[in-house]
Chain A
């Protein structure tokens, strides 16, 4: 016998207690990435044929270092959420799906850490 109303169950966020968390963070990172990716494209256009010193000077500035760090976090978070859904949709063997999602998330975390370290190393001058 279910005593709770459908609305109460929806508010209870389901058995995993996550509810719309995945959906919401996908949108939140998407909104963040609209200005951030346009900023990256604009910067890369300007820096397209710049030498190493110019790029280092640019990425050492607080604004560029902070925006690049924010972009890295948002890109990898958004990307791993998206790839998770792709794996959930197309990989049907349960063990492979779970292993794939876990590995993919760990790789995303590692790559984000590598990028952030590179930015910080440039920003704080090696």
Chain B
């Protein structure tokens, strides 16, 4: 039988990344990162429940430079997943599917998640007196 050339879905390797597709996979990636982040929440809550000593060592670990870098990463993942999740909720009710709107909301998600991360850390440093 003659082999027919049927259209194939494009392989990711040869498909030019677009804002919409990159934001889509980043949503999943940030969700996975946040699952690791919940382990930090577990650790923090258990340390707080265990007593002052355990809490102090948890604070020291999370407040160290590597700890802070990880927390900055988690906070960005949270804000990104939050903002893009809201974008998804609008799609779920059938709004914002036009190409122009999808790109505009995508740019808005990037701007919002980056500025929320910067704002949150600036506030934390301001309220903590820079410590």
Contact = CB atoms under 8 A, between A and B. Distances in A.
Interface of A: 27, 30-31, 33-34, 37-38, 41, 44-46, 48-49, 51-53, 55-56, 59, 68, 72, 75-76, 79, 82-83, 86, 111, 114-115, 117-119, 121-122, 126
A79 B92 contact: no
Nearest to B31: A82
Nearest to B119: A45
B35 A45 contact: no
A100 B98 CA distance: 38
Contact of A49 (B38, B46, B131): B131
Interface in B70-121: 75, 78, 82, 85-86, 88-89, 92, 120
B42 interface: yes
A113 to B, nearest CB: 10
A51 B51 CA distance: 11
Closest 3 CB pairs of A and B: A49-B128, A118-B49, A52-B52
B2 to A, nearest CB: 31
A83 B48 contact: no
Interface in B22-79: 28, 31-32, 34-35, 38-39, 41-42, 45-46, 48-49, 51-52, 55-56, 63, 75, 78
A56 B48 contact: yes
A79 B35 contact: yes
Given A117-B49, A122-B48, 12 more contacts: A49-B63, A51-B52, A52-B52, A52-B56, A59-B48, A79-B35, A79-B38, A83-B35, A111-B38, A115-B45, A119-B45, A122-B49
A46 B128 CA distance: 8
A58 to B, nearest CB: 10
Nearest to B78: A37
A117 B128 CA distance: 29
A115 B75 CA distance: 20
B129 interface: yes
A40 to B, nearest CB: 8
Contacts of A115: 41-42, 45-46
